[in-house]
């Protein structure tokens, strides 16, 4: 449970006095309090440095090493203190967490060492307080990246070994993605690069005017028209190579849909399409204009170089991520252009033989002036025009020069900020998940406690399961409180699964009123769950077990993100089979007989003889559960297999 809640327990329990007059049944007796020693000072010796603290302080977080009974393993009876052979400087932060509820991250220490200490003392890294969380995560990420880079650099030397027997497809894809892995791939890489260069140069060269053959007026025509065959052959060769490469990539791609949608493949397609379209388009005058336009697209072949150049890719990504700033720049420029163009047009309207024939025509002047180009093809002649023209050029400097550095710094700031915002969103999700988990952990702690027969009379002392006895005093009292609430309202806490089943049972037209109908009704869901279909029961039980998160010690740590960090078994609920079937508790509630059927998978060892279905200990990792077999208060209809408990 979260910080300091233990301190408020007396208050919460006292406030339960308010329920008493409303309770329609007698409330359960309070758990017996062990000899209350009062608060005492514990001495924790960490590698020679002694820390002293109240016992209550450590008890605040019962699911950590210092707050639970695990610290008894480190107790030194001779000196009467708890000895830990760990770093005392780090321990200071851990102890401060107990005192203040916030875990701070030391600035000078290695983040890896800090993590190890946290893992040892049973604290999850999510507990790092807000003030230090960002820095902690940044440093951790840096560390991880550095390690990853080192690994990569190591690996890149030898090249990752492909599993033997990989298909041709996989080898081909790998050759395409990492050209340095084999000589063939390298050769292919350079050949394609060469042909891209050749194609681009050919496109450029075929427009250069070459001196034609001796004609009466020596006419200059572009080389492309002079040597059409040569250029056509070169073009064909390049396109053939590009087509071949594209088809090979398509074949080798692990996910063809994704490959088809990727930018690089689109560029490839755009690079080779014009040629094929040109092949099929007849060479008549009408469409040759369009055909000529198509040739423009051949310049896109230059973008194929981005596969060969890391820098181009980074630039592309930069522009993409900076798009909104660029958009804003464009927008503000457009506004300024329109304003000034309008003004210049109306200022120059009177002059005859003026270049400012319309506002769009004035756009050109405005753009050229604002970007300080000043071609001089359009010049204002009136005085007003000149005044506004100078204002235009001065403001142009401002309008352009101001956003550009802002964009540049914005880009760098926004880029990092976006990363941080994503991190924060992910953290938020994790945090909400943690809170939900802690909540469900508490809920399930109580439900688990009920399952394990914690609600029995404490008179049957020895037979009471170990799990019930091993709970901390705080948990005992908290569960007693929840039990009191149940009795006050004549309703029980259940989990979602049983609730939806009960809902279904009710909607099936059953009303829980008389005992006979109750038992037949009870068997209804019960039999569905259990004996008639033992396998289904197991499956359902698996689902149940998986849905109830592991309780107590493991509750805070069963986050998905921390899978594998610390799978501490829940000591309390492990060997938690009831020795005796759970006897029915008498309820004085007005003519209500309810049945709670909670079924789960047994874990070894099975003490009870009437335990049926000793299925293999299947249950989910931390969430151990027991197969509930308890006698019915009402006549038992399926004696040999499952008995449903009636509470």
- Considering only residues 250-279, where is the footprint of other proteins by CB under 8 A? none
Nearer to other proteins, 86 or 431 (CB): 431
Residue 74 CA to residue 83 CA, distance in Å, equals 6
Query: Contact with other proteins (CB under 8 A): which of 29, 80, 228, 614?
Result: 29
Nearer to other proteins, 17 or 168 (CB): 17
Residue 515 in contact with other proteins, rule: CB under 8 A = no
Dihedral sign, Cα of residue 93, residue 97, residue 100, residue 101: positive
Looking at residues 362 to 391 of the shown chain, list those that interact with other proteins (rule: CB under 8 A).
Answer: 372
Residue 13 in contact with other proteins, rule: CB under 8 A = yes
Nearer to other proteins, 233 or 503 (CB): 503
In 3D space, the residue among 401, 419, 389, 638 whose CA is nearest the CA of residue 529 turns out to be 638
Cβ at position 240, least distance to other proteins in Å:
41
Residue whose tokens read 């926004």:
414
Residue 198 CA to residue 239 CA, distance in Å, equals 11
Cβ at position 629, least distance to other proteins in Å:
19
Cβ at position 129, least distance to other proteins in Å:
16
CA 22 to chain centre: 46
On whether the CB atoms of residues 644 and 616 are closer than 8 A, the answer is no
Looking at residues 524 to 583 of the shown chain, list those that interact with other proteins (rule: CB under 8 A).
Answer: none
Residue 24 in contact with other proteins, rule: CB under 8 A = yes
Looking at residues 144 to 173 of the shown chain, list those that interact with other proteins (rule: CB under 8 A).
Answer: none
Residue 494 in contact with other proteins, rule: CB under 8 A = yes
Query: Contact with other proteins (CB under 8 A): which of 502, 545, 599, 623?
Result: 502
Q: Using alpha carbons, list the distances in angstroms from residue 435 to 2, 596, 620.
A: 9, 28, 22
Residue 9 in contact with other proteins, rule: CB under 8 A = yes
On whether the CB atoms of residues 432 and 424 are closer than 8 A, the answer is no
Cβ at position 466, least distance to other proteins in Å:
24
Nearer to other proteins, 17 or 153 (CB): 17
Stretch of 31-39, 164-172, 191-199, 299-307 contacting other proteins, by CB under 8 A: 31-39
Q: Three-state SS across 371-439?
A: CCCCCCCCCCCCHHHHHHHHHHHHHHHHHHHCHHHHHHHHHHHHHHHHHHHHHHHHHHHHHHHHHHHHH
Nearer to other proteins, 425 or 491 (CB): 491
Cβ at position 127, least distance to other proteins in Å:
16
Residue 495 in contact with other proteins, rule: CB under 8 A = yes
Looking at residues 214 to 253 of the shown chain, list those that interact with other proteins (rule: CB under 8 A).
Answer: none
In 3D space, the residue among 111, 105, 252 whose CA is nearest the CA of residue 169 turns out to be 252
Residue 22 in contact with other proteins, rule: CB under 8 A = yes
Stretch of 1-9, 69-77, 168-176, 315-323 contacting other proteins, by CB under 8 A: 1-9
Stretch of 2-10, 241-249, 463-471, 574-582 contacting other proteins, by CB under 8 A: 2-10
Stretch of 290-298, 345-353, 455-463, 495-503 contacting other proteins, by CB under 8 A: 495-503
Cβ at position 443, least distance to other proteins in Å:
6
Stretch of 19-27, 110-118, 275-283, 544-552 contacting other proteins, by CB under 8 A: 19-27
Nearer to other proteins, 36 or 284 (CB): 36
| Rg for the chain, CA atoms, rounded | 39
Enter the DSSP assignment of 41. Answer: E
Residue 53 host element (H or E): strand 49-54
Record the tokens describing residue 307, joined without a space.
């596969």
On whether the CB atoms of residues 242 and 271 are closer than 8 A, the answer is yes
Nearer to other proteins, 237 or 596 (CB): 596
Residue 42 CA to residue 66 CA, distance in Å, equals 11
Residue 216 host element (H or E): none
Nearer to other proteins, 19 or 176 (CB): 19
Cβ at position 33, least distance to other proteins in Å:
5
Cβ at position 547, least distance to other proteins in Å:
12
Record the tokens describing residue 201, joined without a space.
């140069």
Count of positions on this chain that bind other proteins (CB under 8 A): 77
DSSP string, 66-118: TTSGGGGGGEETTTTEEEE-S-HHHHHHHHHHHHHS-B---SSS-HHHHHHHH
Residue 352 CA to residue 356 CA, distance in Å, equals 10
Looking at residues 392 to 411 of the shown chain, list those that interact with other proteins (rule: CB under 8 A).
Answer: 397, 400-401, 404-409
Nearer to other proteins, 234 or 455 (CB): 455
Determine the Cα angle at 497 with ends 496 and 502, to 5°: 95
DSSP string, 317-376: HHHHHTHHHHHHHHHHHHHHHHHHHHHHHHHSSSSTT-S--SHHHHHHHHHHHHTT---S
Stretch of 113-121, 142-150, 437-445, 461-469 contacting other proteins, by CB under 8 A: 437-445
Query: Contact with other proteins (CB under 8 A): which of 70, 492, 610, 611?
Result: 492
Nearer to other proteins, 201 or 506 (CB): 506
Looking at residues 592 to 611 of the shown chain, list those that interact with other proteins (rule: CB under 8 A).
Answer: 592, 594, 596
Kindly write out the interface string for residues 42-71 of this chain, putting x where it contacts other proteins by CB under 8 A and - elsewhere.
------------x-x---------------
Residue whose tokens read 């017996």:
32
Query: Contact with other proteins (CB under 8 A): which of 266, 506, 533, 579?
Result: 506
On whether the CB atoms of residues 449 and 471 are closer than 8 A, the answer is yes
Nearer to other proteins, 210 or 585 (CB): 585
In 3D space, the residue among 376, 389, 391 whose CA is nearest the CA of residue 345 turns out to be 389
Nearer to other proteins, 442 or 612 (CB): 442
Looking at residues 308 to 327 of the shown chain, list those that interact with other proteins (rule: CB under 8 A).
Answer: none
Residues in CB range of 436: below 8 A, 6 or more apart: none
Query: Contact with other proteins (CB under 8 A): which of 256, 349, 416, 543?
Result: 416
Record the tokens describing residue 595, joined without a space.
């049945």
Residue 546 CA to residue 480 CA, distance in Å, equals 26
Q: Can you state the angle between helices 130-158 and 111-121, rounded to 10 degrees?
A: 110
């Amino acid at each position: 449970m979260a910080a300091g809640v233990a301190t408020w327990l007396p208050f919460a329990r006292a406030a339960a006095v308010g329920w008493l007059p409303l309770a329609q049944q007698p409330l359960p007796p309070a758990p017996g309090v062990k000899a209350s020693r009062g608060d005492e000072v514990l001495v924790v010796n960490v590698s020679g440095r002694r820390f002293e603290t109240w016992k209550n302080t450590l008890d605040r977080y019962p699911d950590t090493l210092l707050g639970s009974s695990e610290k008894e393993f480190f107790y030194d009876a001779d000196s009467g203190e708890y000895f830990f052979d760990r770093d005392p400087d780090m321990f200071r932060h851990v102890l401060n967490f107990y005192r203040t509820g916030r875990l701070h991250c030391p600035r000078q220490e290695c983040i890896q060492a800090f993590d190890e200490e946290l893992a040892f003392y049973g604290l999850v890294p999510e507990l790092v307080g807000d003030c230090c969380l960002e820095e902690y995560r940044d440093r951790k990420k840096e560390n991880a990246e550095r390690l990853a880079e080192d690994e990569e650099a190591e690996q890149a030397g030898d090249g990752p070994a492909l599993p033997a027997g990989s298909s041709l497809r996989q080898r081909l894809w790998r050759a395409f993605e990492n050209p340095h892995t084999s000589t063939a791939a390298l050769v292919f890489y350079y050949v394609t690069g060469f042909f891209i260069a050749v194609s681009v140069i050919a496109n450029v060269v075929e427009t250069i005017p070459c001196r034609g053959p001796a004609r009466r007026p020596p006419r200059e025509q572009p080389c492309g028209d002079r040597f059409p065959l040569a250029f056509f052959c070169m073009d064909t060769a390049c396109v053939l190579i590009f087509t071949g490469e594209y088809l090979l990539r398509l074949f080798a791609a692990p996910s063809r849909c994704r490959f088809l949608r990727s930018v690089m493949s689109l560029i490839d397609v755009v690079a080779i399409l014009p040629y094929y379209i040109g092949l099929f388009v007849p060479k008549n005058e009408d469409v040759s204009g369009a055909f000529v336009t198509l040739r423009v697209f051949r310049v896109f072949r230059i973008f194929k170089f981005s596969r060969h150049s890391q820098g181009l890719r980074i630039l592309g990504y930069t522009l993409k991520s900076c798009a909104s700033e660029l958009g804003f720049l464009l927008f503000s420029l457009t506004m300024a252009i329109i304003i000034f163009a309008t003004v210049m047009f109306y200022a120059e309207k009177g002059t005859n033989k003026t270049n400012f024939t319309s506002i769009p025509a004035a756009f050109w002047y405005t753009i050229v002036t604002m970007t300080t180009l000043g071609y001089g093809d359009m010049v204002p002649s009136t005085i007003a025009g000149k005044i506004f023209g100078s204002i235009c050029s001065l403001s142009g400097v401002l309008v352009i020069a101001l956003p550009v550095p802002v964009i540049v710094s914005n880009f760098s700031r926004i880029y990092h900020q976006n990363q941080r915002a994503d991190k924060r969103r992910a953290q938020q999700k994790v945090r909400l998940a943690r809170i939900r988990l802690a909540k469900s952990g508490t809920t399930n702690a109580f439900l688990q406690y009920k399952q394990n027969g914690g609600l029995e009379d404490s008179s049957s002392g020895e037979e009471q399961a170990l799990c019930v006895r091993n709970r901390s005093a705080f948990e005992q009292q908290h569960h007693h409180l929840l039990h009191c609430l149940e009795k006050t309202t004549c309703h029980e806490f259940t989990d979602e699964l049983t609730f939806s089943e009960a809902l279904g049972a009710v909607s099936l037209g059953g009303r829980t009123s008389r005992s006979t109908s109750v038992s037949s009704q009870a068997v209804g869901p019960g039999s569905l769950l259990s004996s008639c279909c033992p396998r289904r029961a197991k499956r359902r039980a698996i689902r149940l077990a998986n849905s109830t998160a592991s309780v107590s010690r493991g509750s805070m740590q069963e986050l998905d993100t921390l899978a594998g960090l610390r799978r501490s078994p829940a000591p309390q609920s492990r060997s938690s089979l009831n020795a005796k079937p759970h006897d029915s508790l008498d309820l004085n509630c007005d003519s209500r007989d309810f049945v709670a059927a909670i079924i789960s998978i047994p874990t070894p060892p099975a003490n009870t003889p009437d335990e049926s279905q000793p299925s293999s200990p299947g249950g989910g990792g931390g969430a151990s559960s027991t197969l509930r077999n308890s006698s019915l208060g009402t006549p038992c209809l399926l004696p040999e297999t499952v008995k449903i408990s009636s509470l």
